[in-house]
Amino acid sequence: MEAWHGTEYLDALQEAERAGQVTAVMRERHGLGTPSNPVFPEMFRRPATAAGASILAGGLLRNPGVIHSPAGGTHHGMPDRANGFCYLNDPVFAILSLRASGIQRIAYVDIDAHHPDGVVHGFQDDPDILIISVHEERRWPFTGALEDRGVGQVWNLPVPRGFNDTEMASVRDGLILPRLASFRPEAIVLQCGADAVEEDPLSRLSLSNNAHWAVVSEVMRMTDRLLVLGGGGYNPWSVGRLWTGVWAVLNRIEIPDRLQPAAEAVLRSLEWRGNARGKSPPDHWFTTLRDSPREGALRDEMGVRLGQLEERARVWN
């Protein structure tokens, strides 16, 4: 873990877990014990397990394959600080592990509602790491401007409130797939955060889970080495349904119209104090995986932004 995180920070994180509290120095220096990085009983072990999974995945992908690690995707973690509920940065470990496996050109694609500031911090100056992020504009961590480019291989697309399935399809076909085709990565890491769907309380985007699944399906065609991570998601029903569908897409399993009773029982057993912003969960959250499509207009502002990125690609090439 010292390949990315500082020894002092790792020691502080483990000490906070042991003590169940933090000192003022830990809070100030490492961001621990704050509302966005709270103390909890497994605050080191849990993210360390996800980080270990990403390290393992990088080793396994020495050979072609597809790996799904939904507990991963903690893309905000900084070398010496916890950041945005992310104590360790497992996507960074995945990329470093792939490199250790001899894979040089790696693409990182992030469709979480929030910009992956930690991953960008680590690789924005590495020409062999392509970074593509589609995230809500004017949303924490308030990074990832359209104009940012790293050394030419960073592609940010901040999207407006109400971002819909039609617009995501345009982004997929107009930005994500062309950039991957041009870059020709040896491996792809896809962070598939569930907080961009309409029901999530921490974003104001309007995607259905169909949009995520379509991105996964198309990205999967672009490589023979793929690691799909989880990420954000703060509505347990939409998270579970979306990531289960991701697993189905990766395994080429048809998603049923109606769930089996055992699966329905799992969803009905979930509890969430913030459910649907105070409303009772609709019945289809228990009985189905697939949302109704949330299509709409491709707004002018989206067309302009995609056009700016297309022009940049022409100039850069």
Which residues belong to the active site?
Answer: 76
Half-sphere CA count of 34, side-chain side, radius 13 A: 17
Is the preceding omega at residue 256 within 30 degrees of 0, hence cis? no
Give dist(CA 46, CA 206) in Å, integer: 30
Helix (H) or strand (E) holding 49: helix 45-60
104 contacts 183 by C-beta, under 8 angstroms: no
Task: Output b/e per residue, 100-126; b: 16+ Cβ within 10 A.
Answer: ebebeebbbbbbbbbbbbbbbbbbbeb
- Picking from 110, 42, 125, 101, the residue whose alpha carbon sits closest to that of residue 73 is 110
113 contacts 76 by C-beta, under 8 angstroms: no
* Strand 65-69, strand 225-229: pairing: parallel
Widest pairwise Cα distance in the chain: 55
Residue 220 backbone zone (phi > 0: left; psi -120 to 50: alpha; other: beta): alpha
For residue 224, count other CB atoms closer than 10 A to its CB.
Answer: 13
Give the contacts of 213 (CB within 8 A, at least 6 positions apart). 242, 245, 246, 249, 255
